[in-house]
Structure 1
Amino acid sequence: MCAASALQKAIHARLTGDAELTALIGADGVCDRLLDRQRLPLVVIESIESRDRSTATEDGEEHWVTLVAWSKVGGHREAQTIAARLRALLHGADLPLDGFHLVSLLHRSTRLAREGTKALHKAEMRLGEPAVVAVCHVGFPVVEDRRMTVDSGLVQPLLV
């Protein structure tokens, strides 16, 4: 399994395992695509953008995750409520990844909008971390690697 797939699987598990989010969107309310005539509200794992961030000695990737909360209720309130729950579940979350280590997962932005001429509202959320804000982030968005640790404010290879 690649790192992006492991991350998507972990995010899906976190979202579908939360009773409060399930009460908002239903038991089958998290998916990776929006289909015609699909029941709303809904959370779509819309995209994961991946970049290589390997060093000369260690493998590493950064991932930008886009989630979209869809609603057909008039106004933004329902989409905002769902987006707030997504942020609470994922911002700073220490998700277990099969075969990889997640260094950070941080909420970067949420954009509310009405979808064209349709009576749909959405909250589009981006997760990642492009700036140095804490010791273990070191300027990378959601960074995954196989063997890394934090020492003196720098990410160092883990000596085995």
Structure 2
Amino acid sequence: MSAQADLRGAIVAALRADAALTAVIGADRVHDGAPRGAAIPFVDLGAVETRLLAATPDEGERHIVEVLAYSRKPARGEVSAVLTAIRDVLAELGPAVGAQRLVHVSDPVMRSERQRDGRGWRGRLSVRIVTEPAA
């Protein structure tokens, strides 16, 4: 399995297990590729960009991970609470990420914006994560 796949799996598992996030959005609302018609509010893993730190993956990889949150509330309070919960989960992500070791999590950026249809909000959290092979 690739470092990116290990990282995606670890992030989704950590978000699904977080009581604070579940309290805001409900159970079974974290996806890696949200199904069509997913119940709102929900969280979806967005773009994940991976780059080598040096010449080979054995020397580590840098990932820019985007997590999206969706809400239909009239104000952005719910989506902001979801983004804060996601940021807290990612900050506490354990050192073992599949066959990878998490080295560093930094630079969280949160953004919220009204959906184009005007019926809700989309939040976006972007964070930089560095991993290296565990062995």
The two structures have a TM-score, normalised by structure 1, of: 0.76
| Aligned-pair Cα RMSD in Å | 2.0
Q: Alpha carbons of 1:8 and 1:95: their partners in 2 closer, same or farther (altered >3 Å)? A: farther
Percent identity between the aligned chains? 27
> 1:21-77: CA deviations, max 9, x gaps?
112112111002244422111011112110111347943211000001100111100
Structure 2 SS opposite 1:108: strand
Query: Quick check: 1:13 aligned with 2:20?
Result: no
Q: Which letter maps to 2:32? A: D
Matched AA of 1:41: P
Kindly tell me the number of residue pairs found equivalent between the two proteins.
135
Cα pair distance change 1:56/1:106, threshold 3 Å: closer
Name the CA shift for 1:60/1:24 in 2 (closer, same or farther; >3 Å).
Answer: same
Which of structures 1 and 2 has the larger relative contact order (alpha carbons within 8 angstroms, sep 6+)? 2
Partner of 1:4: 4
Correspondent of 1:144 among 112, 131, 135 = 131
Match of 1:23 in 2: 23
Greater percentage in strand: 2
Paired position in structure 2 for 1:64: 64
Report the Cα distance in structure 1 between the residues aligned to 2:115 and 2:34, rounded to whole angstroms: 13
**Alignment TM-score, normalising by the size of structure 2:** 0.89
Q: Is the 8 A contact 2:71 2:122 kept in 1?
A: yes
Q: Deviations over 1:71-122 (max 9, x none)?
A: 0111100000111111111125334211111101224211110111241201
The match for 2:54 is 54
Structure 1, residues 4-30: CA drift from partner, whole Å, max 9, x if none? 010011111111111221121121110
Which deviates further from its counterpart, 34-43 or 53-62? 53-62
Residues 1-160 of structure 1: matches in 2 within 5 Å? 1-55=1-55, 58-91=58-91, 93-128=93-128, 142-146=129-133
| CA contact 1:11–1:95 (8 Å) conserved in 2 | no
Find the structure with the greater CA-based Rg.
Answer: 1
